[in-house]
């Protein structure tokens, strides 16, 4: 009887021990799985910031191509004009020399007067007449010469060109905000303007831009990221428009939010495509033309700032993308979360 109890107790102990052991093992597996999951999340986050960085570079490449054209045209005439003006001045100097020679010729009679007799006085009169004629001619040539006014015109063009180049560089700087990283109080209207100037080569001659920008309160955000959002939306609008069309950009402020909308008269988005437009790697563009990341990045950046993005679209009529950002800036996730997205 006692033996039986002892055996039973031993069995119970063994069973308990086994259960305890299994539980511990299970726990260990759980912990390991959790660690794996955490690592996976970290890896995904790293990939994601990598992807943001890559698309930033891709849009940089696109931008450089367009900007190269914008820069090389003014650079072309500025460089040429400055050199040509130097040549024109050389030509002008030659005319001045001729004039000078004529003046010298005029001065010669003064020497002759002192030792003059009748014959030489006649000669003198002739010389004076000749001198007058020469001086008059040289002067007329100088006055009629277009050299100086040409030079002036070329210099004016050169100066305009330099202003154009300077504002282009300013815009590029403003766009990338390399001078300021991190969260900042930003007037988003300025961001729209600088994104527009960068996208200029895609719009020019084809897409009319209508702006209704109301004064906005400054918003706390990462300026370079918001500029990327604007550039992506403008580029998408330009690409949605086949041939000529209009892009209307409106900005307005409500007490809590700043709203910016981009309305194009493009092809619109079909119903079956609409739910997927913010998915990473989803694209309707031919291979090689779009990364399929533009809108997913836009979505990501706007979310990261505690904002939202809405789309309204009518096939064959156009689409409106509206970005809303809280005025008190990234309150939803806090600056740290946004900063983590910055690649």
Partner 1 sequence: MSDPLRILLIDDEERILRALRALLREHVTFATTDPLQAVALARQHDVDVVICDQRMPEKPGIEVLREIKESHPRALRILLTGYSDLKAVLGSVNESEVFRFVNKPWNNAELKALVTEAGQIAREAPVIARDALPPTEHDRARSAVGVLVIESDAAVQQRLREILQPYYKVNFANSAERALQIMEQQETAVVISETQAGRNDLTGLLKALKLHHPHIATVVLTERANAQTAIELINEGQVYRMLLKPVRMGTCRLSVDSAIGRYWQLKQNPQAARRFTAAPPSEHSTTSPLRLPAALLNRIRSLPGRLLGAARV
Work out which of 79, 93, 180, 312 binds partner 1, going by CB under 8 A: 79
Q: How far is the CB of 168 from partner 1 (least distance, A)?
A: 13
Among the listed residues 76, 217, 275, 315, the single contact to partner 1 using CB under 8 A: 76
Q: Is 101 in the site for partner 1 (CB under 8 A)?
A: no
Torsional sign, CA 67, 69, 70, 74: positive
Q: Residue 84, class by beta-carbon neighbours within 10 Å (0-12 exposed, 13-18 middle, 19+ buried)? A: middle
Q: Quick check: 155 binds partner 1 (CB under 8 A)?
A: no
Beta carbon of residue 75, minimum distance to partner 1 (angstroms, whole number): 4
Binding mask 190-219 for partner 1 (x = CB under 8 A): --------------xxx-------------
Which span (22-30, 74-82, 292-300, 327-335) binds partner 1, by CB under 8 A?
74-82
Q: Give whichever of 35 and 206 is closer to partner 1, judged by the CB atom.
A: 206
Q: Using CB under 8 A, which of the segments 67-75, 102-110, 170-178, 183-191 binds partner 1?
A: 67-75
Residue 154 binds to partner 1 (criterion: CB under 8 A): yes
Asked if residue 80 binds partner 1 (CB under 8 A), the reply is yes
- Contact between 50 and partner 1 by CB under 8 A: the answer reads no
Decide: is 111 part of the binding site for partner 1 (CB under 8 A): no
* Span 113-152, contacts to partner 1 by CB under 8 A: 150
Q: Is 161 in the site for partner 1 (CB under 8 A)?
A: yes
Of 199 and 302, which has the nearer Cβ to partner 1? Answer: 199
Total residues at interface with partner 1 (CB under 8 A) = 28
Nearer to partner 1, 25 or 159 (CB): 159
Interaction of residue 108 with partner 1, rule CB under 8 A: no
90 binds partner 1 (CB under 8 A): no
Which residues of this chain interact with partner 1, rule CB under 8 A? 65-66, 68-81, 83-84, 88, 150, 153-154, 157, 160-161, 204-206
């Amino acid at each position: 009887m006692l033996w039986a109890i002892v055996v039973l107790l031993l069995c119970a102990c063994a069973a308990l021990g086994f259960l305890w052991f299994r539980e511990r093992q299970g726990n260990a597996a759980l912990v390991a799985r959790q660690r794996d999951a955490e690592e996976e999340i970290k890896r995904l986050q790293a990939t994601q910031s990598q992807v943001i960085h890559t698309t930033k570079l891709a849009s940089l490449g696109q931008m450089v191509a367009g900007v190269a054209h914008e820069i090389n045209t003014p650079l072309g005439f500025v460089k040429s004009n400055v050199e040509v003006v130097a040549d024109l001045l050389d030509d002008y100097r030659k005319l001045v020399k001729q004039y000078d020679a004529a003046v010298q010729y005029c001065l010669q009679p003064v020497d002759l007067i002192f030792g003059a007799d009748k014959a030489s006085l006649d000669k003198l009169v002739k010389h004076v007449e000749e001198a007058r004629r020469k001086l008059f001619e040289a002067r007329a040539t100088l006055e009629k010469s277009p050299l100086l006014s040409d030079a002036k015109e070329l210099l004016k063009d050169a100066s305009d060109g330099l202003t154009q180049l300077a504002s282009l560089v300013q815009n590029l700087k403003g766009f990338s905000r390399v001078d300021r990283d991190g969260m900042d109080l930003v007037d988003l209207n300025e961001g729209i303007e600088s994104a527009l100037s960068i996208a200029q080569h895609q719009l020019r001659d084809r897409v009319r831009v209508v702006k209704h920008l109301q004064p906005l309160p400054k918003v706390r955000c990462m300026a370079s990221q918001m500029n990327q959002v604007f550039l992506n939306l403008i580029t998408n609008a330009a690409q949605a428009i086949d041939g000529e069309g209009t892009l209307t950009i409106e900005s307005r402020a409500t007490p809590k939010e700043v709203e910016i909308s981009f309305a194009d008269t493009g092809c619109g988005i079909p119903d079956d495509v609409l739910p997927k437009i913010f998915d990473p790697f989803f694209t309707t563009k031919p291979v090689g033309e779009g990364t399929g990341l533009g809108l997913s990045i836009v979505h990501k950046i706007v979310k990261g700032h505690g904002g939202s993005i809405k789309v309204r679209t009518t096939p064959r009529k156009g689409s409106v993308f509206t970005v809303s950002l809280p005025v008190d800036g990234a309150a939803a996730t806090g600056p740290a979360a946004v900063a983590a997205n910055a690649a």
